[in-house]
Structure 1
Amino acid sequence: MRKLVETHTRRTLERQGNAGFRAFDNFRKQGCVEAKLKNGQDGSGQYDCYYSATFVPQPGQQPLTVNGKGRFRRTDKGMAFEDLGAQPR
């Protein structure tokens, strides 16, 4: 789970021109529930998970911790991650 979220975060920040991120300083899974999809679609095999992640601070700045939510599902190639949002804490 941590590796999927780190990879997604790194790619997102690189697209925004901030290539300084490599990994989280701390990552904690807070829990998962089976996904509830729109239009009554079956969500089996998909889980919405909540996590807390702390970024390694940039020089002279405080560490930033975010609470996030993501959807994880199994694919032929392993697990896939969809970002459902994060809020600074």
Structure 2
Amino acid sequence: MRIAAIALACLALVGCSGEPSESDMRKAVEATTRRTLEAQGRLGFRQFDSFRKQGCVETKGRPGLHDCYYAATFAPQPGDKPLTVNGKGRFQTTDKGVVFEDLGAQPR
């Protein structure tokens, strides 16, 4: 009984951590990628072929902000060879959704 109460308390804390979900991260990074590619004249990007959250840590000294790592695979132009990037971003959950700041990505 006591272990179950501790487990439930831990789950409640995880739910309130403010850490973005993989789905929220994907939506925010896709929107930024779409805007960036369109600004470069590269139309046609709609969504990632795959997206995986690799982990997050709360930003030191800035409660509510999380630095997160992710891997995203997509074709920058329709018909191009898919590209996978390992990215890092800063995420904050607000009343208007998740805000994303790109901290860099490395193609692989």
- Number of aligned positions between the proteins: 83
Match of 2:94 in 1: 75
Q: Percent identity?
A: 71
CA distance in 2: counterparts of 1:22 and 1:6, whole angstroms: 8
- State whether structure 2 residue 35 is matched by structure 1 residue 16: no
Structure with the bigger percentage of helix:
2
AA of the residue aligned to 1:64: L
CA distance in 1: counterparts of 2:81 and 2:93, whole angstroms: 36
Q: Mark the runs of 5 or more structure 2 residues left unpaired by the alignment.
A: 1-24
CA distance in 1: counterparts of 2:40 and 2:103, whole angstroms: 18
Correspondence for 1:55 among 74, 90, 104: 74
The TM-score normalised by the length of structure 1 is 0.85
Question: Max radius of gyration: which structure?
Answer: 2
CA distance in 1: counterparts of 2:48 and 2:67, whole angstroms: 20
The TM-score normalised by the length of structure 2 is 0.71
AA of the residue aligned to 2:84: T
Q: Mark the runs of 5 or more structure 1 residues left unpaired by the alignment.
A: 37-41
CA distance in 1: counterparts of 2:31 and 2:73, whole angstroms: 14
